């Protein structure tokens, strides 16, 4: 347990810098979209973008979580499905929907609900999860930069928030959005990609602080 805690602490610390960069990119995108006057029907377009980015995030989470679990845990197919699905759908929902929604409520944004993907759009959300699980289980290897995963997750959370913003946002709300974007990505992404699989790990592995890069399993 001590080794896992040390590893988790290291990973969380390592992920702070590019999670901050991801959150800052979200603030820049918010300003450009709201004040650039080039995107009509902001709320409608944002919802469409969200339901592209959220399933992509689910796929990446399922792929990485399943790959790590299969390599270092048991090979039981039902456990693989359980870990892969909960580690992707569950945590991606917290990251992309629940935390942004709580942020919208606290920042007094005119939100339209939490937008739970696997309930509201079950086909386009669940299918990527099972595809990611299948690739992680049968291929057993992947190479995905964490920075890319962080950006996808950040932007999914961002467009959930943009759906609620309307046409304008105050400086205080922008600061609040930055904080909630950081929180929506930092803990959930590390949990999905690293902490969750580590709970079932049977042998130690090298650091995956910059990318998940595992060869075919033994």
9-27 pLDDT tens trace: 776 777 788 789 889 999 9
Decide if 22 contacts 177 (C-beta within 8 A): no
H/E segment holding residue 40: none
State the angle between helix axes of 146-165 and 2-35 in degrees (0 to 180), rounded to the nearest 10.
50
Q: What number is the average pLDDT over the span 53-78? A: 85
Residue 197 confidence (pLDDT)? 65
> How far apart, in Å, do the first and last CA atoms of the chain sit?
24
Tokens of residue 55, six digits: 């399933």
Residue range 109-154, pLDDT digits in tens: 887 789 999 999 999 999 999 999 999 898 876 566 566 778 898 9
In the block, tokens 């689910």 appear at 58
Residue 187's pLDDT band (boundaries 50, 70, 90)?
confident
pLDDT digits (tens, 9 = 90+) for 158-183: 999 988 886 678 889 999 999 999 99
Grade residue 209 by pLDDT with cuts at 50, 70 and 90.
very low
Which has the closest alpha carbon to 15: 160, 180, 142, 194? 194
Is the pLDDT reported for residue 218 higher than 60? no
Span 177-191, average pLDDT? 84
**Residue appearing with tokens 């990485």:** 64
Give CA angle at 177 (173, 179), nearest 5°.
115
Residue whose tokens read 């870990």: 83
The pLDDT score that the predictor gives to residue 205 is 47
SS3 144: strand
Give the range among 43-47, 95-99, 151-155, 197-201 with minimum mean pLDDT. 197-201
* pLDDT value at residue 178: 94
Q: How confident is the model at residue 217 (pLDDT cuts 50, 70, 90)?
A: very low
| Predicted local confidence at residue 57, as pLDDT | 93
Selected residue with higher pLDDT from 10 and 206: 10
Chain centroid, CA 41 distance in Å: 26
**Per-residue confidence (pLDDT) for residue 214, from 0 to 100:** 40
- In 3-state terms, the chain is what percent helix, strand and coil (to 5)? 75, 5, 20
């Amino acid at each position: 347990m001590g080794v896992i805690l040390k590893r988790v602490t290291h990973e969380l610390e390592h992920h702070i810098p590019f999670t901050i960069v991801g959150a800052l990119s979200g603030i820049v995108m918010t300003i450009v979209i709201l004040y650039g006057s080039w995107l009509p029907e902001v709320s409608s377009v944002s919802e469409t973008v969200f339901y592209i980015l959220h399933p992509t995030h689910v796929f990446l989470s399922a792929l990485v979580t399943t790959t790590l679990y299969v390599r270092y845990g048991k090979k039981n197919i039902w456990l693989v499905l359980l870990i892969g699905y909960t580690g992707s759908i569950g945590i991606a929902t917290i990251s992309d929907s629940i935390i942004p929604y709580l942020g919208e409520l606290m920042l007094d944004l005119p939100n339209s609900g939490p937008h739970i993907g696997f309930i509201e759009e079950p086909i386009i959300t669940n299918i990527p999860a099972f595809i990611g699980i299948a690739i992680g289980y049968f291929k057993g290897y992947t190479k995905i930069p964490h920075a890319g995963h962080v950006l996808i997750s950040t932007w999914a959370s961002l467009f959930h928030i943009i759906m609620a913003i309307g046409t304008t946002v105050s400086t205080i709300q922008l600061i609040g959005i930055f904080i909630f974007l950081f929180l929506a990505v930092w803990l959930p992404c590390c949990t999905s990609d690293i902490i969750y699989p580590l709970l079932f790990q049977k042998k130690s592995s090298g650091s995956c602080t910059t990318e998940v890069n595992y060869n075919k399993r033994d």
